[in-house]
């Protein structure tokens, strides 16, 4: 019988994945990855601040232990703390310094879950690895999951296509309610556990307070883009993203101002007032560090510029340096440098690139001067 190592996170999705694979006749074992420890990472950084690790990883591990006991499978545990720091978190910090809005979950999938995890599973004699992602693999092609609301192909688009040869996604043909129901029917201890949120493996935290442990606050002016007047003070450009309306830091704001630009050189945060999205719209971007999972190289497809974004019709122009010009005839708001542009052709996820620059009406948007 073939052996599968399932990435057990302590949540319901990975639990039901293990359950399904066991029912399908595989030899199933679990592996819990511990990738974050504030105190250890603090030593690596040499930061003297006292950081309390509030990430509930130990609770997740205890849930994973109990789950595997219920399923009657062996559970392994591995630490990738330094690797997560080296390959994911340092990149995350460097991108924030540039004024970009990075996506650490995508890097975590690329370097940890679908690289180091696979190598560790091979050491344990696995034929395949499996995770609780909502996605499908068909003949080596990455396809959207049945549950369109939970589909996670966006976060998998930067994974090296060769890694998918040894991957199973048991939840691809199930909806989240169906997964919850299976967990309840099989008396799994995590059946009603709340889904995890926040940064991959770090968890849900006060973002500004968390970043202050790693990036020094760098206050600067908040400038109204129309009047050019200084109307407030920001706590550091890394704390804001294009399109943000809440917690902008303007007294009496009532969420009426939104972030529409950053000038990293002069440390200025630009905002606009009201419901007008004029300063957020663009019709073209350039993506770099492109990763294709599919052999298809279309000139027309659709793209998502954020995870919860809808599909936008786009035209692609391939440049000699490997970058791609992505044009979208119907303007899109808040296309943001550092974020992923994920490409689709129907149900197939083709791959992605990371947004390098953004244009509107053939002019570069100025917000990252």
Q: What is the CATH number for 103?
A: 3.40.50.620
pTM for the complete prediction? 0.89
* Residue 137 reports pLDDT greater than 70: yes
Do 105 and 243 fall into the same domain?
no
> Is the CB of residue 242 less than 8 Å from the CB of residue 367?
yes
Quick check: 48 pLDDT over 50?
no
242 part of a folded domain = yes
Structurally, how many domains does the chain consist of? 3
Q: Mean per-residue pLDDT for 271-278?
A: 82
Say yes or no: 51 and 69 in one domain.
yes
Mean pLDDT value of segment 296-305: 97
Mean pLDDT of the chain: 89
Q: 84 and 179: one domain?
A: yes
Reading the block at residue 99, the tokens are: 């004024």
Which residues are within 8 A (CB) of 33 and not within 5 positions of it... i.e. 6 or more apart? 7, 9, 78, 79, 80, 112, 113, 117, 201
Q: Are residues 320 and 354 in the same domain?
A: yes
**Do both 19 and 126 map to the same domain?**
yes
Catalytic residue among 200, 285, 341, 352: 200
Whether 308 and 261 share a structural domain: no
More confident residue, 277 or 117: 117
The pLDDT value given to residue 99: 85
Together in a domain, 299 and 244:
no
**134/142 Cα distance (integer angstroms):** 11
pLDDT at 52 over 60: no
The pLDDT value recorded for residue 56 is: 62
Residue 61, in any domain of the structure: yes
Confidence of residue 360 (pLDDT cuts 50, 70, 90): confident
Contact 234, 240 (CB under 8 A): yes
- The answer to whether 285 is a known catalytic residue is no
Mark whether 108 is an active-site residue: yes
Which three-class secondary structure state does DSSP give residue 119? helix
Q: 75-92: per-residue pLDDT in tens?
A: 999 999 999 999 899 999
What residue has token string 């545990």? Answer: 77
Q: For residue 364, what pLDDT band results from cuts at 50, 70 and 90?
A: confident
Tell whether 212 is covered by a domain: no
Encode pLDDT of 228-257 as tens digits: 999 999 989 998 889 888 878 776 655 588
What would the mean pLDDT of 93-113 be, rounded to a whole number? 90
Residue 51 in this model has a pLDDT that exceeds 50: no
Residue 207 structure tokens: 């973002």
CATH number, domain of 221, equals 2.30.30.280
CB 349 within 8 A of CB 148: no
Boundaries of domain holding 221: 217-273
pLDDT tens per residue, range 189-219: 999 988 876 565 555 556 677 788 888 889 9
Number of other residues whose CB lies within 10 A of the CB of residue 346: 10
E strand residue ranges, the chain: 3-7, 27-34, 75-79, 128-130, 136-138, 141-143, 167-168, 220-224, 230-234, 257-263, 268-273, 281-292, 300-304, 312-318, 324-333, 340-345, 348-360, 363-364
Tell me: do 182 and 35 sit in the same domain. Answer: yes
- Of the residues 55, 108, 341, 349, only one is catalytic, namely 108
Q: Is residue 369 part of a domain?
A: no
């Amino acid at each position: 019988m073939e052996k599968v190592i399932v990435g057990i996170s302590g949540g319901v999705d990975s639990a039901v994945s293990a359950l399904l694979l066991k029912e399908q006749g595989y030899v199933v074992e679990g592996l819990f990855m511990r990738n974050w420890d504030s105190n250890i990472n603090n030593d690596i950084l040499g930061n003297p601040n006292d950081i309390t690790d509030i990430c509930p990883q130990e609770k997740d591990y205890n849930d994973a232990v109990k789950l595997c006991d219920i399923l009657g499978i062996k559970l392994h545990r591995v630490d990738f703390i330094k690797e997560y720091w080296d390959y994911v978190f340092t990149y995350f910090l460097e991108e924030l310094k540039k004024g970009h809005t990075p996506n650490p979950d995508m890097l975590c999938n690329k370097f940890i879950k679908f690289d180091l995890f696979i190598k560790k599973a091979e050491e344990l004699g696995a034929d395949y690895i499996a995770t609780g992602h909502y996605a499908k693999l068909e003949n080596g092609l990455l396809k959207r999951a049945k549950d369109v609301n939970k589909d996670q192909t966006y976060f998998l688009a930067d994974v090296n296509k060769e890694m998918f040869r040894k991957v199973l996604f048991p939840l691809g043909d199930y909806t989240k309610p169906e997964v919850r129901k299976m967990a309840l029917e099989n008396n799994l201890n995590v059946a009603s556990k709340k889904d995890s949120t926040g940064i991959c493996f770090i968890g849900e935290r006060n973002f500004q307070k968390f970043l202050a442990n790693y990036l020094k606050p760098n206050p600067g002016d908040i400038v109204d883009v129309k009047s050019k007047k200084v109307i407030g003070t920001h706590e550091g450009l890394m704390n804001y993203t294009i399109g943000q309306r809440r917690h902008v830091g303007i007294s009496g704001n009532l969420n009426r101002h939104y972030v529409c630009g950053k000038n990293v050189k002069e440390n200025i945060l630009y905002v606009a007032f009201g419901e007008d999205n004029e300063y957020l719209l663009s019709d073209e971007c350039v993506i770099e560090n492109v990763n294709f999972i599919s052999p298809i190289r279309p000139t027309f497809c659709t793209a998502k510029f954020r995870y919860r974004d809808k599909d936008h019709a786009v035209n692609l122009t391939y440049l000699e340096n490997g970058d791609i010009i992505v044009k979208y005839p119907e303007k899109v708001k808040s296309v943001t440098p550092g974020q992923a542009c994920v490409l689709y052709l129907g149900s197939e996820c083709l791959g992605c690139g990371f947004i390098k620059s953004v244009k509107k009406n053939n002019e570069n948007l100025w917000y990252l001067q």
